[in-house]
Amino acid sequence: MRSSASAASEVMMEIEASKPQGQGLVVGGLSPLSETLWKEKTNTELVGDVSARLTWKDLTVMVTLNNGDTQNVLEALTGYAEPGSFTALMGPSGSGKSTLLDALSGRLAANAFLSGTILLNGRRANLSFGTAAYVTQDDTLIGTLTVRETISYSAQLRLPDRMPWSEKRALVESTIIEMGLQDCADTVIGNWHLRGISGGEKRRVSIALEILMRPRLLFLDEPTSGLDSASAFFVTQTLRSLSRDGRTVIASIHQPSSEVFELFDRLYLLSGGKTVYFGQASEAYEFFAQAGFPCPSLRNPSDHFLRCINSDFDKVKATLKGSMKIRFETNDDPLEKITTAEAIRTLVDSYRTSQYCYSAKEKVEEMSKIKGTVLDSGGSQASFLMQAFTLTKRSFVNMSRDFGYYWLRLVIYIVVTICIGTIYLNVGTSYSSILARGACASFVFGFVTFMSIGGFPSFVEDMKVFQRERMNGHYGVTSFVISNTLSAMPFLILITFISGTVCYFMVRLHPGFSHYVFFVLCLYASVTVVESLMMAIASIVPNFLMGIITGAGIQGIFMLVSGYFRLPNDIPKPVWRYPMSYISFHFWALQGQYQNDLKGLVFDNQTPDMPKISGEYILEYVFQIDVNRSKWIDLSVIFSMIIIYRIIFFIMIKINEDVTPWVRGYLARRRMQQKSGNQNTTVAPYGLTQSPSLRTYVTGGGTSKNNR
Ligand SMILES: Nc1ncnc2c1ncn2[C@@H]1O[C@H](COP(=O)(O)OP(=O)(O)OP(=O)(O)O)[C@@H](O)[C@H]1O
């Protein structure tokens, strides 16, 4: 078998061989090779009529706070981003950079309401789910995969099926080179037990994943944060080169060095949600000078701009003056004479009446009038089957490499079942074994299945990757649910088969192969139900600590009404018996296993004065089991619960994506109209939603078939 390194070097040789004369691979930009490959293999033109012209006018974002108050995070912002340009959003922490990016890309939080107009190519458009690529601040990647594997799986998930694998591989390799990841291409990303690539490299992997599909519109939230100056320059240069290929690139940048600042085409400077400056980055220097805040010599211009508009400096100065009795030297710097809050007011007012503001508004009007191409989903072009297959494979590889996902659980399960086996060793058929058998089954289907909750943190990590990829339109919910179910199956079968066998034969439960198979199947079904239950919980409570507490609480209640801690007929009828005990999978597992174990056995204390007791009698009169119902029906109920919980997971995600934004949109419209009293205020549904179905409404385009 060829090693991945040799395969990679072959690909690189292919790349070298296919290079046009005199044209090298461009490091820090889209290589001619990948550009050509992309156009040839996907029949997609990258520039021209599919370019993305984005405008936003009077964009206001209001958030509702926990105490019911509202706060304007962005106030009446107007601006635009053109193809072939790189726009940087800058401002102090909390100025609204991320919120502006979120508003433009249709990713606002549930409590945020948007008003104003956002147009893409002169039309309203929902930019989520792949129409625009978005690189978030957090690098949510699968820790057990190498850089090359991460990008390769992403290519398989999104590139068209008809594109041969060798060409997909070539695209992957060229993307690795574009992002300067050659040296760490075969290193794992890293997780809690695997030492992986550096933070800067993770950032570059996240960007590589999004530029792989050559999106026409690219949003990046702080792509250079946490990078050293060389890496930050490299990343920014790459983004600039991407924009030069006719793409529209908008990125929020925290504290750029002067070299990085020089790479910006346009600068959007924000403070407290207001526009301080929007225009050519190179002209910002002049604007600040005109407004009375010239940049002192020997100061980095971007540092100066941020210094002028960061009101935290007022607090810092006041604290220093008060507590440390520091006296600030007065010099010619205007910022020493006035507070930063006053400087911000002056700059905001200056901008409002400046030629920069007028020309921006004019340009927005002009761009809004031109109705360009409707950009449909730039998301996945792979078929549903290819997505499901790739996701299953990726998930299986991850599960097999992540020690905490299943291997640790396997070890614990074996240890615990050996303990059970030792305690109930060769339980027999004496009178005392009746209670022992009941307790043993209750422990196995109660506590042993409960331990499956331990996989929740790993699943939450998977969910984060899913959410990032889903929001960027890489694949749909169905593919994720199917892949998760299939990839987990071999591990769950292995865990339950080994631990079930250890337990069954050490305890010597009911002899007979079919009894043993039932026990193992019931254990498998119960453990899978717990997994599915936790999956459904994760779709509602994505925080892993809260998820574990919720899952533990639900299972505790299920155990209580399972018929062991209180006999079925004694469980209070309202709520606990009907419906709780029937919803509890423990109840069905115990009903089935008691029958499986006791039916056909005879209990005898080997003393002449004590009668023999049949298992049927105990089932009916001691454990109060419905003996007329087949144990296989009990088992099928547990299997149906697996499907039900997976459907709940699917529905919850769909509700979050489709229904919640619709409700929020409706509430926002009412709230904004009430607040402003102006019926003409446009509350843009596209800005509030992440719904693929609303995309159909706003763009007239269809929902991608792969986003099912
Ligand atoms: N959904 C929300 N609910 C409540 N407050 C919010 C919400 N979104 C943003 N804010 C508030 O709005 C302000 C701007 O936040 P935002 O994250 O956009 O700033 P930022 O400029 O990106 O900051 P940073 O550089 O630190 O990431 C902050 O004060 C933040 O607390």
Q: What is the pLDDT of residue 245?
A: 83
pLDDT in tens, 276-315: 999 999 999 999 999 988 888 878 888 999 988 887 777 7
Backbone angles phi, psi at 615, to 5 degrees: -60, -35
Give the domain-ending residue among 639, 655, 671: 655
Rounded to a whole number of angstroms, the CA Rg of the chain reads 31
Residue closest by Cα to atom 26 of ligand 1: 93
**Residue 372 alpha carbon to ligand 1 centre in Å:** 32
Domain with 95 in it: 77-107+216-369
Residue closest by Cα to atom 13 of ligand 1: 94
Residue located via tokens 């693929």: 692
Q: Is there a single domain that holds both residue 304 and residue 404?
A: no
22: left (phi > 0), else alpha (psi -120 to 50), else beta?
Answer: left
Residue 415 pLDDT more than 60? yes
Hey, which of 63, 105, 219 would you mutate to test ligand 1's pocket, going by the most ligand atoms within 8 Å of its Cβ? 63
Residue closest by Cα to atom 25 of ligand 1: 93
**Residue 113 alpha carbon to ligand 1 centre in Å:** 13
Q: Is there a single domain that holds both residue 329 and residue 411?
A: no
CATH number, residue 255: 3.40.50
ipTM over 0.90: yes
Estimate the crossing angle of helix 301-309 against helix 340-352, to 10 degrees.
Answer: 110
Q: Is there a single domain that holds both residue 394 and residue 537?
A: yes
Q: What is the pLDDT of residue 378?
A: 54
Q: Is there a single domain that holds both residue 416 and residue 364?
A: no
In a domain, 450, yes or no: yes
Q: What is the pLDDT of residue 227?
A: 83
Q: Is there a single domain that holds both residue 295 and residue 411?
A: no
Hey, which of 99, 104, 310 would you mutate to test ligand 1's pocket, going by the most ligand atoms within 8 Å of its Cβ? 99
Please, what is the Cα angle at 104 between 98 and 105, to 5 degrees?
90
**Residue 347 alpha carbon to ligand 1 centre in Å:** 21
**Residue 64 alpha carbon to ligand 1 centre in Å:** 12
Q: What is the pLDDT of residue 312?
A: 76
pLDDT in tens, 431-444: 999 999 999 999 99
Residue closest by Cα to atom 28 of ligand 1: 94
In a domain, 138, yes or no: no
Q: Concatenated DSSP letters for 473-508?
A: TS--HHHHHHHHHHHHHHHHHHHHHHHHHHHHHHHT
In a domain, 441, yes or no: yes
Cα separation, 145 vs 150, in Å, equals: 6
Residue 370 pLDDT more than 90? no
In a domain, 609, yes or no: yes
Residue 319 pLDDT more than 50? yes
Q: Is there a single domain that holds both residue 490 and residue 556?
A: yes
Cα separation, 377 vs 127, in Å, equals: 8
Q: What is the pLDDT of residue 688?
A: 37
**Residue 267 alpha carbon to ligand 1 centre in Å:** 19
Residue 147 pLDDT more than 60? yes
Q: Is there a single domain that holds both residue 503 and residue 626?
A: yes
Cα separation, 640 vs 583, in Å, equals: 11
Ligand 1 atom at minimal distance to the Cα of residue 100: 18
Q: Is there a single domain that holds both residue 225 and residue 322?
A: yes
Hey, which of 62, 71, 77, 98 would you mutate to test ligand 1's pocket, going by the most ligand atoms within 8 Å of its Cβ? 98
Residue closest by Cα to atom 12 of ligand 1: 73
Q: What is the pLDDT of residue 510?
A: 96
pLDDT in tens, 480-509: 999 999 999 999 999 999 999 999 999 999
Hey, which of 70, 71, 75, 95 would you mutate to test ligand 1's pocket, going by the most ligand atoms within 8 Å of its Cβ? 95
Q: Concatenated DSSP letters for 525-591?
A: HHHHHHHHHHHHHHHH--SHHHHHHHHHHHHHHHHHTSSSSS-GGGS-TEETTEEHHHH-HHHHHHH
In a domain, 12, yes or no: no
Q: Is there a single domain that holds both residue 463 and residue 424?
A: yes
In a domain, 425, yes or no: yes
Nearest to 456 by CA among 547, 586, 557: 547
Q: Is there a single domain that holds both residue 429 and residue 539?
A: yes
Residue closest by Cα to atom 7 of ligand 1: 63
In a domain, 156, yes or no: no
Q: Is there a single domain that holds both residue 351 and residue 396?
A: no
**Residue 674 alpha carbon to ligand 1 centre in Å:** 24
Nearest to 263 by CA among 230, 241, 279: 241
In a domain, 116, yes or no: no
Residue located via tokens 């002049």: 286
Residue 690 pLDDT more than 60? no
Residue 578's CB: how many other CB atoms inside 10 A?
A: 12
Residue 706 pLDDT more than 70? no
Hey, which of 97, 108, 274 would you mutate to test ligand 1's pocket, going by the most ligand atoms within 8 Å of its Cβ? 97
Task: Give me the number of domains the chain comprises.
Answer: 2
**Residue 273 alpha carbon to ligand 1 centre in Å:** 9
State the chain's mean pLDDT as an integer. 84
Give the domain-ending residue among 369, 397, 420: 369
pLDDT in tens, 258-268: 999 999 999 99
Q: Is there a single domain that holds both residue 468 and residue 520?
A: yes
**Residue 470 alpha carbon to ligand 1 centre in Å:** 23
* Pocket lining for ligand 1, CB < 6 angstroms: 63, 73, 91, 93-99, 109, 111-112, 254
Q: What is the pLDDT of residue 615?
A: 95
